[in-house]
């Protein structure tokens, strides 16, 4: 009987220990979720993400905030709303294969099959309508230019236009897979990167051209790499591949950094902001790491907002300033899109749009 009592005492002690451990787990879990649901970085408790307005919306294909105006694209219709959700203007487009690209201050509505393009300003006024030969594969705004990749039979063409839709230069490219393209801020040079699949291992090439005469200036090959991102900073070129981050100048690689599991990259204020694995890094143009920290959640995009840099994922918003974390908020709803305007931060979930501002010390605003 004595042995049985000892075993019973042991079982009772184990039961108590398990209860205590379970209690501690739930307390920690509760406290952690409370912390994640508030603005929880200790160095800057004065920073808060304040809700300004909530707009109920239906289905949205694409959205853009311009100052105090919100442009919504859905079912070939472009709607302009104010920050109260009131419709200011609506335009319907009768296109066979419609698409839209929002630029910094312009909107590009196109029929991708026919090559028809409308350029509108942020108030909805039509600046120009024009047509390109072939189907439109992609359109992007880059600084003061519009870059449009078109296909006509076996020929791919890179068209460079100004913001008013006037053609500056085009480049016909045959039998190549176009990856990226950019124009420098002086509008004197442009680059096109291609993927070569004819070899046993993938190779990427980047070509630098003169806008003035269209002639090739130089080129560079990246063996066993696929180019994902390119961007000019003055006459330097940032190149991100699937395994490395490079800086190119005068046709030569100045430095490179081994990198993998890349989530996103953005150039903000002349600095390289990048998320890879679960790490956020800010890198200067000499390749020096200015700051780095581990992310506790999965973030998919980086955006500038005033003096801040924002990161967001499916349920998290992280605000940084001077490469330091200043604010974190967790959402119960999935974040489908987040954008920054001059005044507001726009957060879109399944059935609503929320507009926020960051309130902080007077020194920061």
Q: How confident is the model over 53-112, as pLDDT tens digits?
A: 999 988 999 999 998 899 999 999 999 999 999 999 999 999 999 999 999 999 999 999
Question: Would you state the pLDDT for residue 174?
Answer: 78
Does residue 332 register a pLDDT over 60?
yes
Provide the domain limits for residue 219: 176-260
| Of 239, 260, 281, the domain-final residue | 260
Alpha-helix residue ranges (DSSP H) falling in the chain: 2-36
Lowest mean pLDDT among 18-27, 150-159, 162-171, 272-281: 18-27
Q: Across all residues in the chain, what is the average pLDDT?
A: 87
CATH number for the domain spanning 339: value is 2.130.10.10
Neighbours of 69 (CB within 10 A): 17
Number of domains in the chain: 4
242 pLDDT band (50/70/90 cuts)? very high
Question: Would you state the pLDDT for residue 15?
Answer: 41
The answer to whether the beta carbons of residues 161 and 167 sit under 8 Å apart is yes
- Percent pLDDT > 70 in the chain is 86
Query: Do both 160 and 253 map to the same domain?
Result: no
CATH number for the domain spanning 124: value is 2.40.128.650
Query: Do both 127 and 170 map to the same domain?
Result: yes
| Of 194, 225, 260, the domain-final residue | 260
Mean pLDDT confidence for 245-256 = 97
Lowest mean pLDDT among 16-20, 87-91, 300-304, 329-333: 16-20
What is d(CA 351, CA 339) in angstroms, rounded to the nearest whole number? 16
Residue 84: inside a domain: no
Question: Would you state the pLDDT for residue 21?
Answer: 42
Q: In angstroms, what CA-CA distances link 108 with 74, 136, 140, 146?
A: 14, 12, 9, 10
Rounded to the nearest angstrom, the gap between the alpha carbon of residue 16 and the centroid of all alpha carbons in its chain is 51
Question: Would you state the pLDDT for residue 153?
Answer: 85
Q: Which helix (H) or strand (E) holds 241?
A: strand 236-241
Query: Do both 134 and 50 map to the same domain?
Result: no
Query: Do both 269 and 361 map to the same domain?
Result: yes
Question: Would you state the pLDDT for residue 363?
Answer: 53
Query: Do both 226 and 143 map to the same domain?
Result: no
Q: Token pair for residue 227? A: 């180019």
Query: Do both 149 and 229 map to the same domain?
Result: no
Residue 103: inside a domain: yes
| Of 175, 203, 234, the domain-final residue | 175
Residue 24: inside a domain: yes
Question: Would you state the pLDDT for residue 10?
Answer: 42
Helix (H, G, I), strand (E, B) or coil at 139: strand
Query: Do both 267 and 311 map to the same domain?
Result: yes
Query: Do both 169 and 186 map to the same domain?
Result: no
Look at 332 and 238; give whichever has higher pLDDT. 238
317 pLDDT band (50/70/90 cuts)? very high
Query: Do both 361 and 308 map to the same domain?
Result: yes
138 pLDDT band (50/70/90 cuts)? very high
Residue 353: inside a domain: yes
Mean pLDDT confidence for 123-147 = 95
Burial of 349 (0-12, 13-18, 19+ CB in 10 A): middle
Q: Which helix (H) or strand (E) holds 82?
A: strand 77-82
Residue 104: inside a domain: yes
Mean pLDDT confidence for 318-342 = 92
Query: Do both 158 and 201 map to the same domain?
Result: no
Residue 67: inside a domain: no
Mean pLDDT confidence for 288-306 = 95
Helix (H, G, I), strand (E, B) or coil at 34: helix
Question: Would you state the pLDDT for residue 46?
Answer: 55
Question: Would you state the pLDDT for residue 36?
Answer: 35
Question: Would you state the pLDDT for residue 197?
Answer: 81
Q: Cα angle vertex 124, ends 123, 127, to 5°? A: 105
Q: How confident is the model over 181-230, as pLDDT tens digits?
A: 999 999 999 999 999 887 788 899 999 999 999 999 999 999 999 999 99
Residue 283: inside a domain: yes
Look at 48 and 261; give whichever has higher pLDDT. 261
Question: Would you state the pLDDT for residue 8?
Answer: 43
What is d(CA 346, CA 338) in angstroms, rounded to the nearest whole number? 6
Residue 284: inside a domain: yes
Query: Do both 287 and 365 map to the same domain?
Result: yes
Look at 309 and 41; give whichever has higher pLDDT. 309
Query: Do both 158 and 185 map to the same domain?
Result: no
Question: Would you state the pLDDT for residue 198?
Answer: 74
CATH number for the domain spanning 226: value is 2.40.10
362 pLDDT band (50/70/90 cuts)? low
What is d(CA 243, CA 238) in angstroms, rounded to the nearest whole number? 14
Question: Would you state the pLDDT for residue 359?
Answer: 82
Q: Is the dihedral of CA 264, 307, 121, 146 positive or negative?
A: negative
């Amino acid at each position: 009987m004595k042995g049985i009592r000892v075993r019973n005492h042991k079982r009772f002690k184990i039961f108590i220990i398990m209860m205590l451990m379970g209690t501690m787990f739930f307390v920690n879990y509760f406290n952690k979720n409370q912390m994640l649901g508030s603005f929880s970085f200790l160095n800057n408790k004065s920073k808060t993400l304040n809700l300004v307005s909530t707009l109920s919306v239906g289905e949205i294909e694409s959205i853009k905030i311009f100052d105090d105006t919100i442009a919504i694209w859905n079912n070939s219709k472009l709607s302009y709303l104010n920050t109260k959700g009131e419709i200011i203007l609506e335009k319907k487009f009768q296109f066979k294969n419609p698409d839209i690209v929002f630029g910094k201050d312009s909107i590009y509505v196109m029929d991708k099959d026919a090559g028809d393009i409308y350029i509108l300003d942020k108030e909805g006024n039509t600046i120009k309508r024009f047509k390109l030969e072939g189907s439109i594969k992609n359109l992007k705004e880059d600084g003061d230019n519009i870059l449009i990749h078109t296909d006509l039979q076996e020929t791919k063409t890179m068209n460079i236009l100004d913001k008013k839709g006037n053609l500056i230069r085009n480049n016909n490219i045959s039998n190549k897979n176009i990856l990226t393209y950019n124009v420098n801020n002086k509008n004197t040079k442009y680059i096109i990167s291609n993927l070569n699949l004819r070899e046993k291992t993938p190779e990427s090439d980047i070509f630098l051209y003169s806008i003035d005469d269209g002639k090739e200036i130089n080129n560079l090959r990246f063996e066993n790499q696929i180019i994902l991102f390119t961007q000019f900073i003055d006459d330097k070129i940032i190149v991100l591949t699937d395994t490395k981050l490079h800086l190119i100048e005068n046709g030569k690689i100045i430095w490179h950094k081994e990198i993998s599991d890349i989530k996103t990259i953005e150039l903000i204020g002349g600095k390289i902001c990048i998320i890879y694995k679960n790490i956020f890094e800010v890198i200067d143009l000499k390749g020096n790491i200015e700051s780095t920290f581990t992310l506790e959640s999965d973030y998919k995009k980086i955006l500038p907002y005033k003096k801040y840099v924002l990161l967001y994922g499916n349920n998290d918003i992280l605000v940084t300033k001077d490469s330091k974390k200043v604010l974190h908020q967790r959402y119960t709803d999935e974040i489908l899109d987040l954008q920054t305007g001059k005044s507001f931060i726009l957060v879109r979930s399944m059935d609503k749009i929320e507009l926020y501002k960051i309130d902080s010390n007077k020194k920061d605003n």
